[in-house]
Copies of this chain bind each other. A is one copy, B any other.
Amino acid sequence: MTATTDNTAADVDAAARAAQAAFLAYGASDAATRGALLRGLADALEGQREHLVALADAETHLGPARLNGELDRTAFQLRGFATQVGQGAAFTATDDPAVAGPPPAGHPALQRVRVPLGPVAMFAASNFPFAFSVLGGDAAAALAAGCPVVVKAHPGHRGLSQAVAGLAHGVVAAQGLPAGVFALVDGPGHDIGVALVQHPAIAAAAFTGSVRGGLALQRAAQARPRPIPFFGELGSVNPVVALPAAIAANGPALAQGLAGSITLGCGQFCTSPGVLVLPTGALGDAFVAQLVEALRAAPTHAMLTPQMQAGFASGRDAWAAHPRVQALLDARAADGAPPRPFLGQVAAADFIADAHLHEEVFGPAALVVRVDGSAQAIEVLQAVGGTLTVTLWGADADTPETRALVHAATQVAGRVLFAGYPTGVAVTAGQQHGGPFPASTMPATTSVGWAALDRFLRPVALQDAPAWLAARGGRPC
């Protein structure tokens, strides 16, 4: 395993200053330069696949199949952003020629361009050691936008982080770019992260993790003399709403698939379904029974860190001890063994009334909420308030009921699925990974898909730009 190093505040300062210095050239770089860097990083990841996957598996227990797939996705993301930049995505401009005459209709020539924000602080996620970590989607999007990145390693996979950072340093150097384009900082506790977010050279921060950790970093970003944008993805319960027609048509297969989604990666996905909105009555009862059996048989594995396993146990125990929650499946594992799935059940009115039940329990656990009809299902969605996804099975026909449900779902989620399961997030142009708080602190932006590039660019209007500047598309360097 690669040796890890505890960085100091002085190291954070050096990394942020180097990023600021590198920004002068890198922020003004062309599409070819950025594309070559992103493709070089993808090639390097793939070139060290065997070594990196072994490191990641030892640190995260996620298994080689998942980790190889995640490395594939990470390389795909890097190359995809290279393609986006090559197609001009970071360099679009709105030309608005002068209009003669007095205001309000008359106006000077304006060219609305986009500029990179500057050095970005990135916080690697526990649960995606490749795809949301050192060279993950946030880093790829920021580099595509022209922003140097300083990544804070996640304590759950420090060895892998160092190895990936070493590879990135090599690619940056080989391509003749300033070293400050990429840096990794690492250390226990929160001091390093707070120092990074508060460094004057840092222009934005991106984070994927817990509500508590994210809010602490957001406060730090806003306590600066000059607050900066904070893109935090903090938590999501991903309701799945099954209408009776869907259960009647396909109940057993849906129950089996849902159990797989709840336990995928031992429930450590930000899109893991945590609230299951099911009808009261016999149809719902049968579905719940099938789900319990499928969950009982589902494989699990060790969670990412002992702290997360303890956090899961604590959340599960709180649900199990809740006077209004009926435990449908609560098979405890032996000490030190991987956790077993938990399924609880609660009446809709009780769920709606208790905000604690709307909080995510990270791990293989879900709450069944039984509803009398779609109006109550809508109330449950409104109680959840903010989530990355809502899944809605059985909305195939255009009825007032399905319209109202879809409307309610779009009001609280960033993605609404009409088939399948919320785990698995496509990296593509149509993706939206974000949603009202706590899903995202910036719900108008996405952290997955090509539109993630937009987070690291800011519009600037150039008024009466001189000919030399207008001819360069408004880009001074």
Contact = CB atoms under 8 A, between A and B. Distances in A.
Contact of A458 (B404, B443, B455): B443
A191 interface: no
B94 A76 contact: no
A179 to B, nearest CB: 21
Contact of A464 (B227, B418, B444): B418
Interface string A434-476: 1011100111101001010011011111111110110000001
A389 to B, nearest CB: 8
A203 to B, nearest CB: 8
Q: How many identical subunits does the complex contain? A: 2
Interface residues of A, number: 86
A427 B69 contact: no
Contacts of A385: 226
A476 B410 contact: yes
A332 interface: no
Contacts of A431: 96, 110, 112, 461
Given A417-B464, A437-B226, A451-B459, A72 B430 contact: no
Interface stretch (A277-285, A286-294, A395-403): A395-403
Contacts of A449: 461
A462 B454 CA distance: 20
Given A73-B103, A415-B463, 20 more contacts: A28-B407, A69-B103, A72-B104, A73-B104, A96-B431, A103-B426, A110-B431, A227-B437, A395-B466, A397-B466, A398-B469, A403-B476, A410-B460, A413-B460, A414-B460, A414-B461, A416-B460, A416-B462, A420-B464, A431-B461
Give me the 3 closest cross-chain CB pairs, A-B, nearest first: A96-B430, A110-B430, A107-B426
30 contacts: A72-B104, A73-B104, A76-B104, A107-B427, A108-B419, A110-B426, A111-B430, A113-B410, A226-B386, A395-B469, A396-B468, A406-B469, A407-B476, A407-B477, A410-B476, A414-B460, A415-B461, A415-B462, A415-B463, A416-B462, A416-B463, A417-B463, A418-B463, A418-B464, A419-B463, A430-B461, A434-B459, A444-B454, A446-B459, A449-B461
Interface of A: 24, 27-28, 69, 72-73, 76-77, 94-96, 99, 103-105, 107-108, 110-113, 115, 118, 203, 225-229, 355, 385-386, 395-398, 402-404, 406-407, 410-411, 413-420, 424, 426-432, 434, 436-438, 441-444, 446, 449, 451, 454-455, 457-466, 468-469, 476-477
